[in-house]
């Protein structure tokens, strides 16, 4: 009775190529199911070599790429504005750490393109080793295009590269939140940037990126249509005070980034008086709280008839997630109060 | 590298299609959101020096003198070993049984033992071919002993069976005469799953039908909950009684081994990887194989699978008195296979692989597929079944009514005659078992050819008795409709259809658990 195939057919082949492509996110990054997050394989401590990306030919290629391709592309897809970049003129050749809020893949290219060329050519961007350096092609391309260097954000042995870079005269872009914000609000600042600054004895230039979350949040690979506004605002360099520990210094950095976001929507003066930025400790790294939204144009805008001091801080702990996203994605106002302090 | 334990995944939007075995094929399936998927632990590292581990086990056994002390000139030494039904797939040479047997024989030679025989403990399984035996014991042992002193156990050779007595439950203990009359019986085992080993080795592997019928029956199987937990298995309880009875009459030195979860060769490593960690190459392999196998003729497709040799590594070697040894073995198996699962579900989904214990180098016919699904996979639990009482089980297998005339002659008649009458295990046991067990043609084929014993398909059906009793609905995805209907089941074209079909039993929004196996995982259901 050996009746091969007389009744039962061959095995069912299963999903189609299209379903396979969608399921495994071809063209995108493969995702780990939520319930498997705690079961991820530990990332090996392999140091991805990036020194070649800081050599002469790679720097030249990066300059051409950023100025001839990336910057026009950003201007074509967005409406970028930059403020405060003149602070780098006062720093001379001293290396600095540039810290910023992080809510979008636009952040690194926006920051790099906002920097003066002389500064940019000596600037590297720290990037998550487990994300940007998990495959060779991704590591090579990001190192070449943006001068990225891997840092370990899941613990393990810290990389010595960032410190060596600072000591070698390179500026470093660090996103102290460690990952892109899921709702546009500023997340908790980790202590790494402050620690690096104190260890290397360099200044920290805070920067606020506003509008990037609304333009291209997590999950998008291209900005939304309509050339949304995205602004970069640099602040004055900060240094640790006498007796100030890394936790307090990180809190000050976080508060300054928040204040810069508010300043971008109102004015320098108004930002000093804003309840969102009243206390340097609010939303600082040590606390673990999320800070006010700096992606939004509305977070600190005074409501008619009410002064800033009477507003509840935006993005306060416990605030509903939808409200944070709502604020972060609100389009910047077309007209805003004029102020002598406003540029 | 750190070995990650097994865990239960909850399917969400990020979960890619999951691999499902379906006989001699693979498929990628998208499961509904919220489906729980039980993943086995990753492969544990093997012992660094297997030979040294074996030597240490023989020299420092549990509750027993070292083997070296038990050997003496002039004694009758018998070495029995598990047949080809484990491990699955076959392991790459050298088989761990070969390594153990060689060390035992080396010690025996040093002690001046001349009278040595090796017996494959195949019970009512088919006789292994010379090549299959050589794969297990190795060329050196094979050349030294085959065929006179290395042979398959014959459960129908009345002259070479010895009825030792009955247990206090009235169970006949009858085993191979040579083994029973030996001064020392060394049993060499491979404990692939928790069901194997212990007193299941000698009292079953070397027994006759007269002895096996006491625990291989529908009543006992129904009360074995589960086979993977010998403390709660009625079948194991019976075997344990027989084993203890036997131990009073025969000196047994048990050697048990455990393997890790590396059940596929390296080039097919995607089969044991978690899907969201698949590289592009893994995805291409999975998709290519699922499509390619579906388009391939049966013969080459079968050859691809049955030629696979697993890269198993030995995770433990334990020796000594049977029960003390087995405790260590079970702990080692649990380290590799146990996964904690929180509660039962309405639907259990399994994908049956191409091979089970009884179709090595053969075809998995519908009876064996039922045994594999409702017998083994359903019983891969400790505590409570993965699926609730009167829940549904959905199995992936073509259930092609194709039978090997060489290996499974009695299955053909069982399928066409017995199942046509009834699918109730107790009914067919009462009405047909004796006839098939004593049929002279089947006995002849069992003894002289490579056929499973005439009663074997009944045993396969009994294995599924607990599953059949517990479940409210059984649906085979991709199964042959007529074959499924003959066995009292239903077939569905797709998983969605299967869910639709079982909705009358479990409702329209059932909780679903997919047991992602092989490799093996024992669900410790809390």
Query: Would you call A17 and B287 a contact, using CB atoms and an 8 Å cutoff?
Result: yes
pLDDT at A289 over 80: no
Provide the greatest CA pair distance for chain A.
Answer: 96
Give the gap in angstroms from C-alpha A34 to the nearest C-alpha of chain B: 7
Q: Which residue of A has its CA nearest to B416?
A: A1
DSSP B376-444: IITT-EESS-SEEEEEEEEEE--------TTT-HHHHHIIIIIHHH---HHHHIIIIIHHHHH-HHHHH
Range name among A259-268, B31-40, B468-477 with the lowest pLDDT average:
A259-268
Query: Would you call A11 and B398 a contact, using CB atoms and an 8 Å cutoff?
Result: yes
What are the extents of the domains in chain B?
Answer: 7-42+270-307+337-525, 50-259
Measured between beta carbons, the chain B residues lying within 8 angstroms of A33 are 9-12, 14-15, 276
Query: Would you call B401 and A39 a contact, using CB atoms and an 8 Å cutoff?
Result: no
The alpha-helical segments, DSSP class H, found in B307-363 are 322-337
CB nearest B283 (choices: A2, A20, A33): A20
What percent of chain A has pLDDT above 70?
Answer: 74
Query: Would you call B277 and A7 a contact, using CB atoms and an 8 Å cutoff?
Result: no
CATH number of B50-259: 3.40.50.11440
Residue B124: what pLDDT? 97
Mapped onto helix, strand or coil, the DSSP state of residue B516 is coil
CATH number of B7-42+270-307+337-525: 3.90.226.30
What percent of chain B has pLDDT above 90?
Answer: 88
Segment B118-131, tens digit of pLDDT: 999 999 999 999 99
Report, as an integer, the average pLDDT of A110-120: 90
pLDDT bin (cut points 50, 70, 90) of residue A5 is very low
Give the gap in angstroms from C-alpha A27 to the nearest C-alpha of chain B: 11
Name the β-bridge partners of A234: A207
DSSP state of A54: G
- Which residue in B18, B29, B25, B17 sits closest to B495, CA to CA? B29
Q: Do B19 and B286 form a contact (C-beta atoms < 8 A)?
A: yes
Report, as an integer, the average pLDDT of B76-89: 94
Residue A305: what pLDDT? 35
pLDDT bin (cut points 50, 70, 90) of residue B266 is confident
Segment A168-223, tens digit of pLDDT: 889 999 999 888 888 888 888 888 889 889 988 999 999 999 888 888 988 888 88
Residue A311: what pLDDT? 39
**Residues of chain A contacting B, Cβ within 8 Å:** 1-15, 17, 19-20, 23-25, 30-36, 38-39, 41-42
Give the gap in angstroms from C-alpha A14 to the nearest C-alpha of chain B: 5
Q: Whole-angstrom Cα distance, residue A11 to residue B110?
A: 54
Q: Which residue of A has its CA nearest to B403?
A: A2
pLDDT at A261 over 70: yes
Measured between beta carbons, the chain A residues lying within 8 angstroms of B293 are 10-11
pLDDT bin (cut points 50, 70, 90) of residue A154 is low
Q: Whole-angstrom Cα distance, residue A321 to residue A317?
A: 10
Report, as an integer, the average pLDDT of B294-314: 90
Measured between beta carbons, the chain A residues lying within 8 angstroms of B16 are 23-25, 30
Q: Whole-angstrom Cα distance, residue B81 to residue B102?
A: 12
Query: Would you call A7 and B480 a contact, using CB atoms and an 8 Å cutoff?
Result: yes
Segment B267-301, tens digit of pLDDT: 898 999 999 999 888 999 988 888 888 888 988 98
Give the gap in angstroms from C-alpha A36 to the nearest C-alpha of chain B: 6
Q: Do B320 and B253 form a contact (C-beta atoms < 8 A)?
A: yes
Burial of B84 (0-12, 13-18, 19+ CB in 10 A): buried
Residue A302: what pLDDT? 37
pLDDT at B250 over 70: yes
Q: Give the mean pLDDT of chain B.
A: 94
Range name among A123-137, A166-180, B319-333 with the lowest pLDDT average:
A123-137
Burial of A19 (0-12, 13-18, 19+ CB in 10 A): middle
Q: Whole-angstrom Cα distance, residue B361 to residue A137?
A: 44
Segment B342-368, tens digit of pLDDT: 999 999 999 999 999 999 999 999 999
Give the gap in angstroms from C-alpha A296 to the nearest C-alpha of chain B: 29
- The ipTM (two decimal places) reads 0.81
Residue A129: what pLDDT? 82
Measured between beta carbons, the chain B residues lying within 8 angstroms of A11 are 22-27, 290, 293-294, 398, 478
- Which residue in B455, B328, B265, B348 sits closest to B64, CA to CA? B328
Give the gap in angstroms from C-alpha A159 to the nearest C-alpha of chain B: 21
Give the gap in angstroms from C-alpha B413 to the nearest C-alpha of chain A: 10
Measured between beta carbons, the chain B residues lying within 8 angstroms of A24 are 16-17, 278, 283
Measured between beta carbons, the chain B residues lying within 8 angstroms of A20 are 17, 28, 283, 287
Q: Which residue of B has its CA nearest to A31?
A: B14
CB pairs under 8 A between A and B: 134
pLDDT bin (cut points 50, 70, 90) of residue B504 is very high
CB nearest A31 (choices: B24, B27, B276): B276
pLDDT at B107 over 80: yes
Measured between beta carbons, the chain A residues lying within 8 angstroms of B281 are none
pLDDT bin (cut points 50, 70, 90) of residue A108 is very high
Q: Which residue of B has its CA nearest to A45?
A: B1
Q: Which residue of A has its CA nearest to B27?
A: A14
DSSP A74-109: HHHH-EEEEE-TTHHHHHTT--EEEEE---STTHHH
pLDDT at A314 over 80: no
Give the gap in angstroms from C-alpha A40 to the nearest C-alpha of chain B: 8
Measured between beta carbons, the chain A residues lying within 8 angstroms of B277 are 41
**What domains sit in chain A, N to C, each tagged with a CATH number?**
51-301+309-328 (3.40.1130)
Strand order in the sheet with B490-492: B7-10, B36-39, B512-515, B345-351, B387-396, B473-477, B490-492
Residue A304: what pLDDT? 36
Which one of A2, A4, A9, A11 would you mutate to disrupt binding with B, by most B Cβ within 10 Å of its Cβ? A11
Residue A334: what pLDDT? 46
Give the gap in angstroms from C-alpha B354 to the nearest C-alpha of chain A: 11
Q: Whole-angstrom Cα distance, residue B491 to residue B523?
A: 26
pLDDT bin (cut points 50, 70, 90) of residue A87 is confident
CB nearest A23 (choices: B2, B17, B25): B17
Provide Rg for chain A, Cα atoms.
22
Residue A159: what pLDDT? 66
Segment A265-281, tens digit of pLDDT: 877 777 777 766 555 44
CB nearest B4 (choices: A10, A33, A41): A41
β-strand pairing of B252-259 with B314-320: antiparallel
Mapped onto helix, strand or coil, the DSSP state of residue B124 is coil
DSSP state of B257: E
Query: Would you call A15 and B14 a contact, using CB atoms and an 8 Å cutoff?
Result: no
Query: Would you call B405 and A2 a contact, using CB atoms and an 8 Å cutoff?
Result: yes
Q: Which residue of A has its CA nearest to B5?
A: A39
pLDDT at A2 over 70: no
Q: Give the mean pLDDT of chain A.
A: 78
């Amino acid at each position: 009775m050996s009746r091969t195939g007389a009744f039962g057919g061959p095995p069912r082949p299963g999903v189609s190529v299209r379903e396979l492509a969608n399921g495994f996110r071809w063209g995108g990054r493969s995702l780990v199911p939520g319930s498997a997050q705690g079961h991820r394989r530990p990332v090996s401590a392999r140091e991805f070599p990036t020194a070649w990306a800081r050599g002469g030919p790679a720097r030249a290629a990066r300059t051409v790429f950023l100025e001839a391709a990336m910057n026009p592309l950003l201007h074509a897809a967005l409406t970028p504005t930059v403020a405060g970049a003149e602070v780098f003129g006062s720093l001379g050749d001293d290396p600095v750490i540039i810290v910023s809020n992080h809510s979008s893949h636009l952040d690194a290219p926006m920051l790099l393109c906002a920097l003066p060329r002389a500064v940019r050519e000596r600037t590297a961007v720290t990037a998550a080793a487990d994300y940007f350096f998990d495959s060779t092609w991704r590591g090579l391309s990001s190192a070449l295009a943006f001068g990225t260097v891997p840092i370990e954000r899941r613990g393990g042995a810290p990389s010595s590269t960032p410190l060596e870079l600072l000591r070698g005269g390179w500026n470093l872009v660090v996103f102290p939140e460690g990952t892109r914000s899921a709702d546009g609000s500023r997340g908790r600042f980790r202590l790494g940037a402050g620690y690096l600054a104190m260890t290397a004895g360099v200044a920290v230039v805070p920067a606020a990126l506003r509008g990037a979350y609304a333009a291209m949040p997590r999950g998008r690979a291209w900005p939304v249509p309509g050339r949304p506004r995205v602004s970069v605002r640099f602040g004055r360099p900060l240094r640790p005070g006498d007796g100030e520990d890394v936790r307090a210094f990180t809190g000050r950095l976080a508060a300054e980034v928040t204040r810069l976001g508010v300043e971008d929507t109102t004015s320098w003066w108004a930002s000093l008086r804003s309840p969102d930025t009243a206390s340097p400790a609010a939303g600082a790294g040590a606390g673990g709280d999320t800070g006010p939204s700096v992606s939004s144009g509305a977070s600190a805008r005074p409501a008619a008839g009410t002064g800033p001091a009477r507003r509840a801080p935006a993005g306060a702990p416990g605030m509903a997630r939808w409200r944070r996203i709502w604020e972060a994605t609100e389009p910047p106002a077309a007209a805003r109060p004029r102020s002598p302090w406003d540029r | 590298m750190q070995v990650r334990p097994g865990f239960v995944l909850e399917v969400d939007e990020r979960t890619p299609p999951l691999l499902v075995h379906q006989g001699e094929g693979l498929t990628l399936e998208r499961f509904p959101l919220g489906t729980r998927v039980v993943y086995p632990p990753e492969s544990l590292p093997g012992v660094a020096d297997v030979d040294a581990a074996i030597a240490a086990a023989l020299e420092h056994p549990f509750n027993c003198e070292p083997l070296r002390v038990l050997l003496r000139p002039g004694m009758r030494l018998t070495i029995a070993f598990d047949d080809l039904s484990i491990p699955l797939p076959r392991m790459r040479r050298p088989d761990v049984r070969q390594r153990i047997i060689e060390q035992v024989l080396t010690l025996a030679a040093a002690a001046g033992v001349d009278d040595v025989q090796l017996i494959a403990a195949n019970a009512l399984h088919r006789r292994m071919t010379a090549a299959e035996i050589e794969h297990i014991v190795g060329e050196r042992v094979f050349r030294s002993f085959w065929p006179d002193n290395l042979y398959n156990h014959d459960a129908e050779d009345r002259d070479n069976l010895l009825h030792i007595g009955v247990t206090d439950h009235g169970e006949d203990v009858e085993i191979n005469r040579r083994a029973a009359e030996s001064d020392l019986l060394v049993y060499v085992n491979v404990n692939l799953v928790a069901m194997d080993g212990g007193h299941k080795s000698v009292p079953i592997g070397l027994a006759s039908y007269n002895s096996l019928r006491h625990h291989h029956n529908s009543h006992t199987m129904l009360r074995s909950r589960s086979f993977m937990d010998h403390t709660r298995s009625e079948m194991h309880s019976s075997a344990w009684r027989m084993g203890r009875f036997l131990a009073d009459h025969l000196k047994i030195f048990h050697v048990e081994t455990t393997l890790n979860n590396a059940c596929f060769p390296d080039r097919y490593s995607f089969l044991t990887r978690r899907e969201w960690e698949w590289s592009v190459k893994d995805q291409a392999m999975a998709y290519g194989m699922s499509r390619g196998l579906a388009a391939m003729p049966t013969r080459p497709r079968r050859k691809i699978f049955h030629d696979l040799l697993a890269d198993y590594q030995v995770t433990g070697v334990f020796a000594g008195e049977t029960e003390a040894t087995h405790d260590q073995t079970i702990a080692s198996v649990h380290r590799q296979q146990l996964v904690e699962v929180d509660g039962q579900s309405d639907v259990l989904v399994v994908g049956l692989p191409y091979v089970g214990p009884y179709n090595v180098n053969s075809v998995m016919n519908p009876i064996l597929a039922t045994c594999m699904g409702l017998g083994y996979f359903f019983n891969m639990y400790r505590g409570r079944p993965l699926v609730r009482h009167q829940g549904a089980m959905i199995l992936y297998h073509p259930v092609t009514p194709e039978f090997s005339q060489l290996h499974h002659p009695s299955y053909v008649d069982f399928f066409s005659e017995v199942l046509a009458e009834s699918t109730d295990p107790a009914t067919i046991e009462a009405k047909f078992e004796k006839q098939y067990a004593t049929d002279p043609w089947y006995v002849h084929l069992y003894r002289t050819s490579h056929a499973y014993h005439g009663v074997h398909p009944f045993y396969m059906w009994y294995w599924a008795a607990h599953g059949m009793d517990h479940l409210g609905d059984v649906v085979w995805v991709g199964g042959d409709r007529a074959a499924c209907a003959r066995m009292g089941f239903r077939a569905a074209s797709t998983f969605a259809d299967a869910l639709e079909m079982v909705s009358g039993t479990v409702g329209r929004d059932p909780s679903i658990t997919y047991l992602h196996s092989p490799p093996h995982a024992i669900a410790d259901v809390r």
